[in-house]
Amino acid sequence: MHRKQRSEWTNNVLYRLLGKPVFFRMDPENAHHLVINSLHNAAKIPGALTLMRGMYGVPEVPELATDLFGIHFPSPVGLAAGLDKNADAVEGFSAIGFGFMEVGTVTPVGQPGNDRPRLFRLPPEEALINRMGFNNHGTEEMTARLRALKQRPIPVAVNIGKNKTTPNEEAFRDYEKCISALYPYADFFVVNISSPNTPDLRNLQHGDELSALLQAVTNQMAAEARKHGASKAVLVKIAPDVSDLELEFMIDTIEKSGVSGLIATNTTVSREGIHHKNAKETGGLSGKPLAARSTEIVSRVYRQTGGKLPIIGSGGIFSVADAYDKIRAGASLVEIYTALIYEGPEINRKLHRGLRELLARDGFNHISEAVGADHR
């Protein structure tokens, strides 16, 4: 075993034998806050981030570094929205091997979200159910946090949503407010219209409501670009719980809107094949059970758009095979969330090493050559 592999094995064992048992004895949301606070505080301790990069960081290599949306991504594996809701731990997450990250979902005005308990583990399925309800501190606090960052080693996307009390017919104003407040501090934006935990939010994915919302979003992005002298990308995050016909119309509307790309997918309300007692809890399910459906959505989007609309694949990625399946289905980048909880921060090194091996196996010189390979 090479020295680097021994280090990875040791780090993995440490998490599985020490870290994970401690976290999994805690209330899930309390464990979540402990992680965020620890990563936030690590940035204040001299040498801590350097130590974390040494333990969990991944080197930038030519075959995996990606340029997309006018942004350089040192690795194709990012952190999905929902973990760092208020941009508290950007520097910490940047040090453990991610190539980019989403912060949020943020709403114009801070809100407490749904009542606790609202986060549940399903260990046999390696899944989570959450009904957090866009709990966050609002755009003003996120703006201050992002402005205060001394350095930003990886691209940061701001995931934006509407306040719970905002009716759907006025939702576009909330998205406009988020863009206006955070435009100077986001590398790109993600429009969240697919969380199952805000009443009626998913209705914004369909028909005239989707078209009108995306028109407002792209108009606001254009206005901010003129104001600040720099254009930025905006993506749409879609749900997996749609029919084939709904998905077809949704993709068509998104493509015509002029947005930069989409993220497939958000969490699911399906409980098919789930037997754990927590399956009865309402909310969005993430983790391994979502892998096949989210990959199918990636594939359908790629096929319908002819690969012209960039996709970030998200949902159920635990292994390098999961990540590579999404890339070959059409994803240019991928995101993880639940796997970080179950596998620990060593997962980034595992995915990074595994993707390089699979690219070499299949004769690809760069990850972009593998994007959509299953359709050729």
Active-site positions? 195
Three-point CA angle 306, 307, 308, nearest 5°: 90
- Does 266 appear as a known binding residue? yes
Q: Which residues contact 270 (CB under 8 A, 6 or more apart)?
A: 240, 241, 285, 289, 293
Query: Within a 10 A sphere around the Cβ of 289, how many other Cβ atoms?
Result: 22
Give the integer Cα–Cα distance in Å for 165 and 168: 9
Three-point CA angle 270, 275, 278, nearest 5°: 75
- Give the largest Cα separation in the chain, rounded: 60
- Does 192 appear as a known binding residue? yes
Q: With the C-alpha atoms ordered 207, 212, 213, 219, is the resulting torsion angle positive or negative?
A: positive
- Does 359 appear as a known binding residue? no
Backbone angles phi, psi at 214, to 5 degrees: -70, -30
- Does 107 appear as a known binding residue? no
- Does 65 appear as a known binding residue? no
- Does 131 appear as a known binding residue? yes
- Does 219 appear as a known binding residue? no
- Does 83 appear as a known binding residue? yes
Give the integer Cα–Cα distance in Å for 265 and 214: 18
- Does 130 appear as a known binding residue? yes
- Does 85 appear as a known binding residue? yes
Residues 294, 265: contact at Cβ < 8 Å?
Answer: yes
Binding positions: 81-85, 105, 130-134, 159, 192, 197, 237, 265-267, 287, 316, 337-338
Residue list for the binding site for FMN:
81-85, 105, 159, 192, 237, 265, 287, 316, 337-338
Binding-site positions for substrate read: 85, 130-134, 192, 197, 266-267
